Amino acid sequence: MSYRFCLAVFFLCVTVGSAFAGPPLLTDDPDTPGDKHWEINTAFTLDKRNSSATMETPLLDINYGVGDNIQLKYEVPMLVRHESGAGTQGGLGNSLVGVKWRFLDEDKYGVNVSTYPQLEFNPPTTSADRGLVDRGTNLLLPVEVSKKFGPVWVNGEVGYTLHQQSDDEWFYGLSGGYEVRENLTIMGEVHGGATYQFKRNEVVFNIGTQWDFAKNYGLLVSAGRSFSRAASDEPNLLLYFGLQVRL
């Protein structure tokens, strides 16, 4: 295990001690559920490429607010993956736990800013042995910034992922949206990832919507793909279809 990974895990532990965007988009945001409130997203997702297709059926994303500026997160998917020449297999995917801390609020500072360390780890099953998930533990260290301009919002995220058993990566995203009415928002994003030396870069776009059809329930939908040509093995179809419950 590299010294950088050990230091980052220590940083996460220290952090634990002391929306807009987010689903259905890949780019996260500084928003939190609010004190003692739950935000639970249950979704179907698809990442289709020329040589494979991966579905999360479902993806369970549970968030809880501690005060107005802290969010606790647990996420886990049930995966189904089809690879050309290797058939189809399924199983439990990696779990993701995290703590978001919004340390600047727009009302006071003119902009929302948060940090959101998250730890991703293999399930206690054979998923890693079968190649369904990559073996090892990963640590995500992002920062998010957002700003509202009336019915329009803009949100950005940049971060670094420390991989225990592979090359580290950068990730970044820029998203925006428009509140058509109080319960309906349309949104879009450009989101990318690159190896730490920027030798490989994958950039996708998504468009989506959030429709709050009841006080505590919302429908989350997005679709997108890579900017690269269809001949590449980057995503040629990304889908997210989910239900959000707020308690």
Domain CATH number, residue 216 = 2.40.160.40
Residue 61: which residues within 8 A CB-CB, separation 6 or more? 23, 40, 41, 42, 43, 73, 74, 75
Question: Whole-angstrom Cα distance, residue 65 to residue 184?
Answer: 23
Return the DSSP state at 126: S
Per-position pLDDT tens, the chain of length 247:
444 544 444 333 333 333 567 999 999 999 999 999 999 999 999 999 999 999 999 999 999 999 999 999 999 999 999 998 889 999 999 999 999 999 999 999 999 999 999 999 999 999 999 999 999 999 999 999 999 999 999 999 999 999 999 999 999 999 999 999 999 999 999 999 999 888 889 999 999 999 999 999 999 999 999 998 766 889 999 999 999 999 9
Q: Name the domain count of the chain.
A: 1
For residue 114, the enclosing domain spans 3-246
The CA distances from residue 145 to 28, 101, 127, 148, 210, in Å, are 9, 12, 35, 11, 20
221 near 12, Cβ under 8 Å? no
One-letter amino acid at 191 equals: H
Q: Is 8 helix (H, G, I), strand (E, B) or coil?
A: helix
Residue 213: which residues within 8 A CB-CB, separation 6 or more? 183, 219
CA 203 to chain centre: 15
- The token pair at 87 is 């058939």
